[in-house]
Amino acid sequence: MAPPHDRETLTPLGRDLAGFGDRVAIVTDRGELTYRDLAARVARAARRLGPGRRLVLLAGGNTVDAVVAYLGALAAGHPVLLVPADDAVIAAMVAAYDPDVVVRPAGGRWTYDQRRRGSAHELHPELALLLSTSGSTGSPKLVRLSHDNLRANAESIAEYLGIRDTDRAATTLPMHYCYGLSVLNSHLVRGAGLILTERSVADTCFWEQFRAAGGTSFAGVPYTFALLDRAGFDTMRLPGLRYVTQAGGRLAPERVRHYAELGRRAGWDLVVMYGQTEATARMAYLPPGLAADHPGAIGVAVPGGSLRLEPVDGHPDPDVGELVYTGPNVMLGYAHGPADLALGRVTGELRTGDLARRGPGGLFEIVGRSSRFAKVFGLRIDLQRVEAGLELDGVPAACAARDDELVVVVEAHAHRAHLGRIVAQRCALPARAVRIVETPRLPRTASGKVDQAAVAAIAAAPAGSPAPAAPATDLCALYAEVLDRPGVTPDDSFVTLGGDSLSYVEVSVRLEAALGRLPAGWHTMPIRELTPAPPGAARSRRRRLDTSVALRAAAIVLIAGTHIGVFTVRGGAHLLLAVAGFNFARFHLTGVDRRRRLRHLATSIGRIAVPTVAYLAFVVFVLGDYDWRNALLLNEAIGPRTGRERYFWFIETLVYILVALLLALAAPLADRWERRRPFLLPAVLLGAGLLVRYDVVPLSPMDNMTTPASLFWLFALGWAAGKAATTAQRALVTAAGSIALIGYFGQPLRESIIAAGLVLLVWVAQVPSTAAVNRLAGALAGSSLYIYLTHWQVYPLLENHSRPLALVAALAAGVLFGAAVDRVTARLARRRARTPQAAAGAAAGVAAGVAAPVGAVPAPRRPRPPDVVRARRRRGRPAPPAAVPW
């Protein structure tokens, strides 16, 4: 759609997409989108926004809808105010700039809120984009960028990176951050592909998607590389990776050298870059061949730009000056309010505020920042240099100066004795002039940079007062309580903490209540990315419930209700087996090393087997029910597999399957294959299971529909569903399961129940719910193992009186028995933690089945923080035990 001014002044980002035809433009979990399809969607978005230029506030996100809205606005000539998809930030920017249109997600879909027909503003013809500086949020100070800025910077980046139309870059950074947006722009101008994801690089699922989509590059700020270290990036096999870019702050030279050497060995390049929002993104880059020899340099100016040094009065080093950049990507200027949107260009060059020197080969190196110098006791202190020195010592820190005092905010785990005295000596300050403040984690912006405003707020707090709590602090306490993991930090996630299906139920329900919403994929997100609802905020009655939790709750009700005779709806147990495979894929096949995987799986097997054996031993030897083989979980192995003795086939089948997989994954070759081909392995095993299902591999007449060999295909089906990363893979799983179920039982209703559950599991992450339903479903799903165990003894006591009452009693008894097991397990774990042998013998608890809580094996237990202990006592319940893929 043509804007009301010269079409040639527009960036080609939104206009020329169709010219790339059927090349793949976007890859998501749900499939691929060609440039032709993307162009059609962009045209519809442009028409929806209308022809008259208006100010469009867009809640950015690494999603197709956000990208389409962004490109549609550019194509139609509407200036875009790009902000994070955060309610508080959106409200602040709406109040500050009064946009004409607000485009954002709401109620599960994208909305275009047309606040007026025309525009309330005078908009300069060149104005294309408004961004916050350095990824900051909520500040009314914005950078005004033109279409020429966007076009020039995108083409410059594409040139020096050598972006090809066959490349596919993963969106590791937020779209509203200039670095993240530059990845989008530079690939679109070359007809390359984008892997849209909001997952963290610390998430195993990110790398599964990256491999499946044929990823060739990704971008990172310094914090990203810290996460890469934790994720075991140096051991990953990424055959398509061509290069990794780094910007958004200084990466320590030794880390640059390390990753440059790692890339050289693995066949990819590290490209260090330098930029600012005021330059649309990039001003300099370091040719990858120079990274190992010049790891402290930012390199040379990007194509089309130039760098020079401006002398700084009073600086002791005459070779150091302020870095000044000139180029077509320099901003029009700043905006401090709506009136500034009418302004044209007010600057021709960019004074970066960074101090630099020019070294051998014309390479520039940043040595400090002029705005981060402070006078303390009459001495000029370079705060950035203090931080860099502490970083070399392994102490993450951020500095601020006030009232003749240097405040150093350090992460508590890295704090060292006499740190204040060390800093004082380095800065030639009296010891009393340095104050150290501990914080669990340095505050960071959405782009991963240290939040200097938050650091200043910490520094301004009275001496001795605790650092202001970040919004994630309460969530860390929640995770620590439910998972019984002291020392939880905002960088941890449910998966990295070792959580699995039983703890998943409680955490998901409590998180949904705390957040007001449950983000898709929350279990792989760092806690710092989960934003709690503000105190006093209005809470909607509408809630969401994780599909796997809903299916587990529904299945156990169907199982118990059918056995009791309240109704006859079969299929719940077989559906639970598929859900168990799904949870096995999500919570056990994570990115941790092989030994931790095996210990975690052994713990989960123990959490199924030990309560079952203990309960059945009581029933067999005290009440006289069943057979001794049931108490030892041997009925499916040695028979008789008839009558009442078959009641527990499901538990035995699940235990046998998990033990077999534990032994298989203990082989390094199998472990490596699963990591490299996470979907292919369960797909192959599903195929093997279907050979048994269709009698291609016949079993004996006793091997019917309740034995491990005959039912493994259902577990493998759930496993494959958990690892399906593309639409094609999901469709394959759905088709295979639906076809295999046809005629399997000879009971259409039963087969339909399982098929419907499978479709939900594959395609629907969350289902609509209410707070009350969530609590009920959480209790039932979390106690499903115990309900299955105990209902056989409970319902006969009441079925002649009232079968519905017998069902309610059976469900309640299972929940109570589960709570008792949790309490006993937690006490045993605490008692073991207090013994001198605990540090050396934690692994023995796994074998014995009284394992440490989720993810805490085999490491020795640390004392629980007092606040968590008090919270436990107030609630009168222990920590949940290690969870199972039930």
pLDDT digit string, tens, across residues 768-785: 888 889 889 989 998 999
Residue 103: pLDDT above 90?
yes
Domains and CATH numbers, the chain: 7-343+351-362 (3.40.50.12780), 377-460 (3.30.300.30), 547-867 (no CATH)
From residue 517, give the alpha-carbon distance in Å to each of 91, 510, 532, 747.
18, 10, 9, 38
Quick one: pLDDT at residue 666? 93
**CA nearest neighbour of 838 among 820, 823, 825, 851:** 851
Check if the beta carbon of residue 786 is closer than 8 Å to that of residue 821: yes
Residue 883: pLDDT above 50?
no
Check if the beta carbon of residue 685 is closer than 8 Å to that of residue 712: yes
**CA nearest neighbour of 373 among 449, 438, 316, 448:** 316
**For the residues 187-205, what does the mean pLDDT come to?**
91
β-partners of residue 60 are 84
Quick one: pLDDT at residue 441? 78
Quick one: pLDDT at residue 227? 86
Quick one: pLDDT at residue 73? 95
Phi-psi region of 555 (alpha: psi -120 to 50; beta: other; left: phi over 0): alpha
Quick one: pLDDT at residue 886? 53
Residue 470: pLDDT above 60?
no
Residue 301: pLDDT above 80?
yes
Query: Whole-structure pTM over 0.95, yes or no?
Result: no
Share of the chain above pLDDT 90, in %: 49
Phi, psi of 28 (to 5 degrees): -130, 180
What span, in angstroms and rounded, lies between the C-alpha atoms of 201 and 524? 10
Quick one: pLDDT at residue 875? 37
| pLDDT tier at 468, thresholds 50, 70, 90 | low
What span, in angstroms and rounded, lies between the C-alpha atoms of 62 and 181? 10
What one-character DSSP code corresponds to residue 620? I
Residue 719: pLDDT above 90?
yes
Residue 871: pLDDT above 70?
no
**HSE-CB of 564 using CA atoms within 13 angstroms:** 32
β-partners of residue 354 are 369
| pLDDT tier at 293, thresholds 50, 70, 90 | very high
What span, in angstroms and rounded, lies between the C-alpha atoms of 32 and 43? 18
What span, in angstroms and rounded, lies between the C-alpha atoms of 578 and 563? 20
> Which three-class secondary structure string do you get for 157-182?
HHHHHCCCCCCEEECCCCCCCHHHHH
In this structure, the number of other CB atoms found within 10 A of the CB of residue 280 comes to: 31
What span, in angstroms and rounded, lies between the C-alpha atoms of 76 and 800? 72
Cα torsion 283, 289, 293, 295: sign: positive
Quick one: pLDDT at residue 154? 96
**Rg over CA atoms, the chain:** 30
The residue ranking higher by pLDDT, 841 or 670, is 670
The residue ranking higher by pLDDT, 706 or 619, is 619
Q: What is the pLDDT of residues 395-454, one digit of tens each?
A: 889 998 876 789 999 987 777 778 888 898 888 788 888 999 988 778 877 666 787 778
**CA nearest neighbour of 644 among 623, 664, 666:** 623
What span, in angstroms and rounded, lies between the C-alpha atoms of 842 and 861? 8
Share of the chain above pLDDT 70, in %: 84
From residue 266, give the alpha-carbon distance in Å to each of 241, 244, 704.
9, 12, 49
**For the residues 703-723, what does the mean pLDDT come to?**
85
Quick one: pLDDT at residue 331? 96
What span, in angstroms and rounded, lies between the C-alpha atoms of 578 and 574? 7
**CA nearest neighbour of 134 among 358, 372, 341, 311:** 372
Quick one: pLDDT at residue 429? 83
From residue 202, give the alpha-carbon distance in Å to each of 119, 211, 478, 536.
43, 15, 21, 33
> Token digits for 296?
């402290």
Residue 336: pLDDT above 60?
yes
What one-character DSSP code corresponds to residue 251? P
